[in-house]
Structure 1
Amino acid sequence: MKKITLILTVIGLIIIGCENQEDSYADRESELLSLLDDDDALGLEGLDDGDAVDDEYTADSLESAGKINLGKVMEVFHPDSGYIYKFGRKITSKTKTITYTHGDDFSIANIIWTVSGDFICSAIDTATADTNKTEKPFTSEFHRMVRFVEGNVSDWRGRRWRVDAFTMGTGSTDDIVAVTKLEYFTMNSENTWESGFVITSDEAETRWISRDSIPTFYKGDSVKVEVSVTNNNDPVFDYKSGEGVVMHYGRHRYYKARRKMHDDGIGPDAGENDNTFTKIWRIHGPGYYVFQPRPYRVFRAFFDVMDFGTLFDTEEDVHTAVWALPYKVIRE
């Protein structure tokens, strides 16, 4: 009888210990979730265009104090002299699943976003101004890991944990197109381009990028961006290299820019149709706060490759892949 009583006591203590640990982790996870929600470096806001690019998407500056929430720059594709193609991704649903791994002084969040919506394309006949609008449903899955560490000092909300590092955000509709490399170049003292950041697909989902060491630029800097891609469609759509790349940057759909990247072998682009796309990016300012200049701010950038069948063929499914990486802008 004594042995049975002892065994039951031990089992009871184990159960109580597990419950206490689960309660402790639940409190921790609540704090970690609030950190994820508050961090400007994370999330998918800014990828959504809201609709196909239309006249409301007028050229403006992300630095405009008068239109701080309306700064948009959008560029369209001109596949031939007869048509202009305006397009956009309209996100209608986002669900987030997070699983945690906990240690004594660290936690890792494995985040999966399932994003659904419509890819909207308007083909405009430049001779008659007739418009043919196509909407294609899509579902993409995005993945990122975030590492947290416990600090010695609480923030203003009483949180002791902080975001320490994260992986590249990666997402796609399928495996037709993919990003294989992202590289930033800045101009050095000898007036030549010098690589400052590079990451490849082999390490995109495993390499930790320190939250305090994200790519950082000064307002007015010129940055050369190169994005290398692959296209596994069979056959590849017969227009240029078969795919296009656009760069979204900003904070959300009403405060962003979307720029074409080029694979034409002209200027900074090294080779025509070699599946490495290039853009010279002049860094915008960090914006304003209650009409006062901000000294710095964190923004989100998305590098978005799409098979040209997605854009130009009404019967083709949506084939896209996206890499997401935040950056910091300093006023001076």
Structure 2
Amino acid sequence: MSDIRFDDRVAIVTGAGGGLGRCHALELARRGAKVVVNDLGGSLDGTGGNSEAAEAVVKEIEALGGEAIANGSSVSDEAGVKKMIDDTMAKWGRIDIIIANAGILRDKSFSKMTQGDIDLVLDVHLRGTFMPVHAAWNIMKEQNFGRIVVTTSSTGLYGNFGQANYGAAKLGVVGMMNTLKIEGAKNNIKINAVCPIAATRMTQGLMPDEVLAQLKPEYVTPGVMNLVKDDAPSGMILSAGAGAFSMARIVETEGVFVGQGEGLSAEAVAAKWDQITDVATTKPAFQSGGEHGQNIFAAVAAGMKG
């Protein structure tokens, strides 16, 4: 098996001043990439900020013999994102890889969550993923090359108490990915999602120390390298933690035609509920919204025949 290399590639990693982002940035540099280390340097709840953390990672990369620049822009600020993209292009003239990793937490039960808690988390996680990718999209199209990783979460995929804002944002980036895998295909732009389980400042206090000891951020990064390599997949959700990896998918049962007109009622749907929810008929994951529609119309056609 040949080594995975990123020679002559230029990568932007957001939230790379520590934790997962730092590990991703260092590994890309070890494998030959030129790296933009983005980090606002704010606290866990998104307040404050400076670029000292990003500059420290740049020094680590330079000590390895690599090339890197620091960027202290907020990923949710339009002017800041523009500066990040402009500085990258001025330095190296291309953008090949974006790993959108920046994040904060404002955990509260839904009844206690403020509008500010909702807005800030959506800004950093969802808008802060959308904006850098959008700003670099036409650059990647003109190059006919791009590799993008968004960072989702088990909270977005499956839920977690006290994280309605975070979960909404984290599933939102999956929705973005599902469309961009289609739009980017003709220009060799591939986009995937990583769903990490790692011991970072965002997970401190949530798990016992002996569990956190196995969840090193660097145990996630090898999977991410496979999501941004030349022959990467596209539209994949890779779960990663403690050296274990799996693929997550949104799937749907085959379904059943219930009826139309007077034959369709809430009671008629209830009568078919077991067939509607029969997991034994689960279909392979759809690759587009159109395939979802085809499944529905196939059930209609079958029902009309019967």
Q: Same fold by TM (over 0.5)? A: no
The structure whose residues are more often helix, as a share, is: 2
Structure with higher Rg: it is 1
Higher strand share: 1
Bigger relative contact order (CA 8 A; separation at least 6): 1
TM-score of the superposition, structure 2-length normalised?
A: 0.29
